[in-house]
Amino acid sequence: METNVFSNLERILRSRIAILDGAMGTMIQAHRLDEAGFRGRQFADHPYDLKGCNDLLCLTRPELVEAIHGQYLDAGADIIETNTFNSTSVSLADYHLEHLAYDLNVAGAQVARRAADATMVRESARPRFVAGAIGPTNRTASMSPNVNNPAFRAVTFDQLVEAYTEQVRGLMDGGVDLLLVETVFDTLNCKAVLFAIDQYFEAMRRRVPVMVSVTITDRSGRTLSGQTVEAFWNSVAHMPLLSVGINCALGAKQMRPYIEELSQIASLFISCYPNAGLPNAFGGFDETPEIMAADLREFAANGWLNIVGGCCGTTPTHIKAIADAVHDCRPHVLATPKPYTRLSGLEPMTIRPETNFVNIGERTNVTGSPQFAKLILSGDFEGALSVAQQQVSGGAQVLDVNMDEGMLDSKEAMVKFLNLIAAEPDIARVPIMIDSSNWTVIEAGLKCVQGKGIVNSISLKEGEGAFLERAKLIRRYGAAVVVMAFDEAGQADTVERKVEICTRAYRLLTEQIGFPQQDIIFDPNVLTVATGIEEHANYAVNFIEATRRIKATLPLCKVSGGISNISFSFRGNNVVREAMHAAFLYHAIHAGLDMGIVNAGQLAVYEEIPKDLLELVEDVLLNRRPDATERLVAFAETVKQTGKAVIQEDAWRQGTVEERLSHALVKGIVEYIEVDVEEARQKYAKPLDVIEGPLMAGMNIVGDLFGSGKMFLPQVVKSARVMKKAVAYLLPFMEAEKQRSGRTQAQGKIVLATVKGDVHDIGKNIVGVVLGCNNYEVIDLGVMVPCEKILATARERHVNIIGLSGLITPSLDEMVHVAREMAREGFHVPLLIGGATTSKAHTAVKIAPAYTQPVVHVLDASRAVGVVSALISPAQQVSFAEQNRSEQERIRQAHQDRGPRTLVDLAQARARRTAIAWRSEDLPRPSFTGVRVPDQVPLDRLEPYIDWTPFFHTWELRGRYPQILDEPKAKELFADAQTLLKEIVGRKLLTARGVYGFFPANSVGDDIELYTDGSRSKVLATFHTLRQQIPKPDG
């Protein structure tokens, strides 16, 4: 089938919406297999737990996996996924099964192949396809799991490529029709698998279609690693894909804006397979097949979909409902985006005709910035990051990074600095230009950048072979490229040579390896003028004219240059140099220059250059007179070297110390943290008061912003680092106070663990950091931790609290098991519960009853310190535990009272409708019928009628007005709203408009019909009101 798979799939996707299967894991969990059920006979003696390793069932229970595939095929799936989501050596290492990666993929593909082939024997007219499922692994290549070492990576790009290559080989050998890279939470991981796939295809001279599906993991609309939907698309668009889509994390309703956006920007078929709603309080998924199908039908009716299916919580019943719902909808017509240069960091950057000049920050370059070089050579990478931050704050839209220094390990420095940038969202939001004359350094840099960056540069200096080989790799890594006007004969300095080399390079790139025109950036060489050498006098003119010709003949390509090279003769004289840069840019941009490497934030304005200096500078740049250099040199000697001191007042520095600390934590600013913490220490009675007061107040704001989707994970991690530094400063003072008071031990000792069967730990890591910052000793056991290890460690280390974390639904059952074992073994320490699928309700109903001591659900990291402090403090622990117990008892009672809802038959509900014998004389008659528009109504007259309850719900505060004002946050919000309302009314910022009307109406069955007039002959509108089916007394 492989020879026809491309054409068959494309034909189907253009003619109808194809159906993808649902959740394999959900179906496996329904079988409630025990440890032996996973092991089978083959792994009976395996020394480690295997329960939860679903992929292993392809070897130990292949008939079970094949049966599940069959159920999905019978439900209408056109494409089924292999049960290989975690079948890489990286993920399997948690089960000590990494040696089985190839075998599991072969087996997974063969099992799915048998199921698909058997279905096609029965239904030969309808092709079925097997997609090799490739998950993201349990590691992230663009983020550090260690908040104290943001440059560290738990897995490298090369390690991922090796693991993914093995997986792809197994899937292909097992007989898949296509590959599906899914649940992408880190784009660098995704780029690694795409690199492996493309490399494997080329080596084997065999290709199959490839699908990619990203996961939007939080309410800010970003991936876990911080990218927006469009930034992600720009990062992976280099790969020839069949489709791109979104899956997991969200239900269909929550996924709506992101799938709509993707369908508008991506030039591929679009896939969508959401979860069955959001997880409920118990980690399950409640969204019925009918509700989910209705939502996805709307997506299909809007023309957004080519492929649709289900992720977590979906079953064959869901897939059948979805297939039925979309069967008559037309498929998405592929978008045709304009061929613009599209780059990305955490956010997209598109260079459109109206973009004007793109500033590429030059100061993160050891060869061009003595300050940056000094910082890097001394190992002050934090100081080096501040240079990058200044460049971005100053207007750099791309950041050039160069580590070419003889006394430096350039490759190591490049990797470390780019990894550090990835942890700084205010810097990482812009694309990176990896700048080096050493190909090894360039390639090392490409392996660190999740966005679509730029390589600076390659050239024809070493011949066409090396040029094309490197260009092909740059394309495979997903970057744009700068091509220098340099060939085997040397650097081009004339207009003709510049244009000739760039044109030759263009033809090689586009005709031989299909490099997109818009991703080619030519640098026709900005060379130094005013050197006193006559041959150099026309260098600026030649660059400008070459730019004009390149843009005229190769219009989709871009032109760039290192602007500061033009003024190198005047190094040390910033006044003259900045004037030369501004004037040169003015003329080059008019000729078509798209971008340039500049000192962002320190560009002079052309119109503000003194007229006498401008004339001298342009005489040199445009070579207007033979003595131009001598005249500019003479002028330069008269300029006082005072430089330009640009003073930028940071308004936030004028606030109170509490406001400054809060701002620093929210923004992740470390520069002033020690100064401000010292000021706070002088103000507060004890160092701990600074932590529990303004610092935790700031972290609570961070938690609230993260919860509301106004911050995303990299920013929270950055805030945690600021907190860490603040606490580190206070620690000596706290230790001294302990010595004086006789208290020399930590506030408390907590063991944290991600429970057995779960490999997710990012949230747990943040909790650990925040607790550690607050002088608690944290023992982090990592992921996949068995119950017995948790309890043994807690007993050996005499901990005060045990904290359990989990992200997937099966973790909830494991948490209950841990609680039961704690009770059985006689533990008396509190138990904390946290993670994405956990909730107050599940904790109260399922976990707390299994253990006699306090079991507390912790919403997020910012709440952890307050909870731990209350549980450990002798003054608070009794009252806090009682309050927690009472709240959980209330939740349990409410859950018990709710019980399962039974609905009566619709016909029965209709028969029980209340019958009222209306008398005509009882019916009030309106003074008019039809529509009226009242005169303008003063706002103060409307104010008493405002229903404030929906207002509070919008801000995610639950309750009814006015009772909700008992809640301090609601009271504060209401006061702010009243202040704003008074301003609106007082200044008449809004105008009240209204319309109302009366119409004749009749009930018709469950509906209400409105009529145009009293004759009731013409229906104006119909209100559909389905009758309630809740059991009620007759009448």
CA distance 575 to 642: 9
Confirm whether 398 is domain-assigned: yes
- Residue 968 pLDDT class (50, 70, 90 cuts): confident
- Percent of the chain exceeding pLDDT 90 equals 66
Is 393 marked active-site?
no
pLDDT beyond 50 at 904: yes
pLDDT beyond 50 at 642: no
- Look over the chain and give the mean of its residue pLDDT values, rounded to a whole number: 90
What pLDDT score was predicted for residue 411?
Answer: 98
Task: Tell me: do 685 and 578 sit in the same domain.
Answer: no
What pLDDT score was predicted for residue 914?
Answer: 80
Confirm whether 1008 is domain-assigned: yes
Alpha carbon 392 to its chain centroid, in Å, reads 20
CATH classification at residue 519? 3.20.20.20
pTM over 0.75: no
Most confident of 358-367, 857-866, 952-961: 358-367
Task: Tell me: do 751 and 837 sit in the same domain.
Answer: yes
Task: Tell me: do 108 and 227 sit in the same domain.
Answer: yes
What pLDDT score was predicted for residue 696?
Answer: 78
Check if the beta carbon of residue 111 is closer than 8 Å to that of residue 87. Answer: no
CA distance 485 to 495: 10
Confirm whether 336 is domain-assigned: no
Confirm whether 883 is domain-assigned: yes
What pLDDT score was predicted for residue 107?
Answer: 98
CATH classification at residue 205? 3.20.20.330
- CA distances, 827 to each of 457, 602, 788, 917 (Å): 62, 63, 13, 68
Element (H, E) at 361: strand 358-361
Task: Tell me: do 864 and 996 sit in the same domain.
Answer: no
pLDDT tens digits for range 477-503: 999 999 999 999 999 999 999 999 999
Confirm whether 447 is domain-assigned: no
Task: Tell me: do 134 and 117 sit in the same domain.
Answer: yes
pLDDT tens digits for range 753-769: 999 867 666 568 667 76
> Which 3-state string (H, E, C) describes 827-849?
CCCCEEEECCCCCHHHHHHHHHH
What pLDDT score was predicted for residue 647?
Answer: 35
pLDDT beyond 70 at 743: no
pLDDT greater at residue 274 or residue 970: 274
Domain edge (last residue) among 584, 614, 639? 639
Alpha carbon 809 to its chain centroid, in Å, reads 22
What pLDDT score was predicted for residue 2?
Answer: 53
Task: Tell me: do 627 and 700 sit in the same domain.
Answer: no
Strand order in the sheet with 1007-1011: 1001-1004, 1007-1011, 1019-1024
Out of 55, 186, 758, 860, pick the active-site residue: 758
Confirm whether 113 is domain-assigned: yes
pLDDT greater at residue 190 or residue 786: 190
Task: Tell me: do 371 and 291 sit in the same domain.
Answer: no
Domain count, the chain: 6
pLDDT tens digits for range 407-448: 899 999 999 999 999 999 999 999 999 999 999 999 999 999
pLDDT greater at residue 770 or residue 389: 389
pLDDT tens digits for range 656-695: 999 999 989 888 888 999 999 999 999 998 887 888 789 8
Task: Tell me: do 688 and 556 sit in the same domain.
Answer: no
- CA distances, 659 to each of 665, 666, 872, 1034 (Å): 10, 11, 29, 62
- Percent of the chain exceeding pLDDT 70 equals 94
| Phi, psi torsion values for 820, nearest 5 degrees | -65, -40
What pLDDT score was predicted for residue 692?
Answer: 72
Task: Tell me: do 944 and 889 sit in the same domain.
Answer: no
CATH classification at residue 713? 1.10.1240.10
Is 758 marked active-site?
yes
Domain edge (last residue) among 615, 639, 663? 639
pLDDT beyond 60 at 646: no
Task: Tell me: do 929 and 818 sit in the same domain.
Answer: no
- Residue 644 pLDDT class (50, 70, 90 cuts): very low
Per the structure, the complete domain to which residue 543 belongs is given by 452-592+605-639
What pLDDT score was predicted for residue 641?
Answer: 45
pLDDT greater at residue 784 or residue 406: 406
* Choice among 340-354, 623-637, 844-858, 950-964 with the minimum mean pLDDT: 950-964
What pLDDT score was predicted for residue 709?
Answer: 46
Confirm whether 346 is domain-assigned: no
Angle at 26 between CA 23 and CA 28, to 5 degrees: 110
Task: Tell me: do 200 and 87 sit in the same domain.
Answer: yes
Neighbouring CB atoms inside 10 A of 265's CB total: 17
What pLDDT score was predicted for residue 125?
Answer: 87
Task: Tell me: do 137 and 286 sit in the same domain.
Answer: yes
Domain edge (last residue) among 846, 870, 899? 899
Check if the beta carbon of residue 104 is closer than 8 Å to that of residue 92. Answer: yes
Confirm whether 600 is domain-assigned: no
Out of 69, 332, 587, 760, pick the active-site residue: 760
What pLDDT score was predicted for residue 860?
Answer: 73
Out of 263, 271, 459, 811, pick the active-site residue: 811
